[in-house]
Structure 1
Amino acid sequence: MKNSIYVLAFLLVCFSCQTEKKIGYVENGTVINGYQEKKDIESKYQAMESRFNKKADSIGKAFQLEVQQTQIDARRATQKKAQELMQGLQQKQQLLQQQMQLEQQQLAQAFQAEIDSLIVKVKDFVKTYGKDHNYTYILGTSDAAASVLYGIEENNLTQVILDALNADYSKE
């Protein structure tokens, strides 16, 4: 009888020491795409791209006028002078194309850098959220990389995380 009490006490201690693992998951794409800061970054870069396109159109139109004038001048000039004019025009066209490509690449790189920074920020936020709410794991899933094939809805933290992220962002 005494031994069974000790065994029962031992089992009680063992089971009370085990803590339940708290696991949640987040739909990555939904969080990122619903995050207001991402929407703001996209809007900022869409405006920048629009300004870039207007500038490129303006430069293109000015260049077309220059092409027309150079063609007129080339018809009046000697063959050698006409070749020099057209060669100069080709060099200018290449230079303008390179300049536009460089500006477009810089714009794309700046956008990608901000998005990469945003993703790191979201990951850090989820990590902090998990620690603050005693989660053992918070898994991420997406259509491209489905690490969670099934999860009950009560473990889906997507909307909770998104709401908390947007609330935190609105404070900034």
Structure 2
Amino acid sequence: MKKLILLSVAALAIISCNKETPTAEKIKTAYIDTSKLLEENNEAKDIEEKYKVKSEEMGRELRAEASKFQSEAASFQQNAMAKGQAWAQAKGAELQKREQELGIKQQAMMQTLQQESGKEMDSLVKRIKDYIKDYGKKNGYDYIYGTGDAATVLYAKDAYDITAAISKELNDKYKGSEKKEEPKAEEKK
């Protein structure tokens, strides 16, 4: 009886050892240079350009107000002596208040632009991560590592770099979505 139990335990041990466990040679890995991926991403470039244009437009408005303020400040200095100290104090306080308002307005514009562009970039990064996850599953990868700003790989052979393939597919997919949106814009005209 003891021999039978011992034999069955040994058989179970042998069977469980024969289960295939992935070895280093069987694991499929790759890495992506995340910085390069974002630099080459057409959608990211479009987002940057969009907010650059918005920033320039808002900057023009602010520069016009600042120019008007500077001309008033220059005329204030000329009129201060002629109109007296009481007028100078009142006008100086008014100019100081407007200067603060301009500064607050500038900060608010900058903050708005940063928040809006941050949301769009965060959304893009999430879509890219989801795409990489699907790409990894579809192509049978066990691991895909990221390098770049937040490096998680200290060394990798160049043969494992799939940045170019992912970048090309993402840009092709983005081009395809742009083409789908264009007819809608024309219909509205």
Q: Which residue of 1 aligns with 2:38?
A: 32
Q: Which residue of 2 aligns with 1:87?
A: 93
1:33-62 superposed Cα distances (whole Å, 9 cap, x missing partner): 111001111111111122222222211111
Match of 1:48 among 37, 50, 54: 54
Q: Which residue of 1 aligns with 2:157?
A: 152
Q: What is the root-mean-square deviation of aligned Cα atoms in Å?
A: 2.2
* Runs of 4+ that moved beyond 6 A: none
Alignment of 1:70-109 (within 5 A): 70-109=76-115
Letter in 2 for 1:140: G
Match of 1:58 among 56, 61, 64: 64
Report the count of equivalent residues: 161
Report the Cα offset of residue 18 of structure 1.
5.0
Q: Matched residues in 2 for 1:135 and 1:164: separation?
A: 17
Report the Cα offset of residue 69 of structure 1.
2.9
1:115-141 superposed Cα distances (whole Å, 9 cap, x missing partner): 222111111110111111121111111
Report the Cα offset of residue 24 of structure 1.
1.2
TM-score, normalisation: structure 2? 0.76
TM-score, normalisation: structure 1? 0.83
Match of 2:145 among 139, 143, 148: 139
Q: Matched residues in 2 for 1:146 and 1:68: separation?
A: 53
5+ residue gaps in structure 1? 1-6
SS in 1 for 2:108: helix
Letter in 2 for 1:136: D
Q: Matched residues in 1 for 2:153 and 2:104: separation?
A: 45
Q: Matched residues in 2 for 1:73 and 1:114: separation?
A: 50
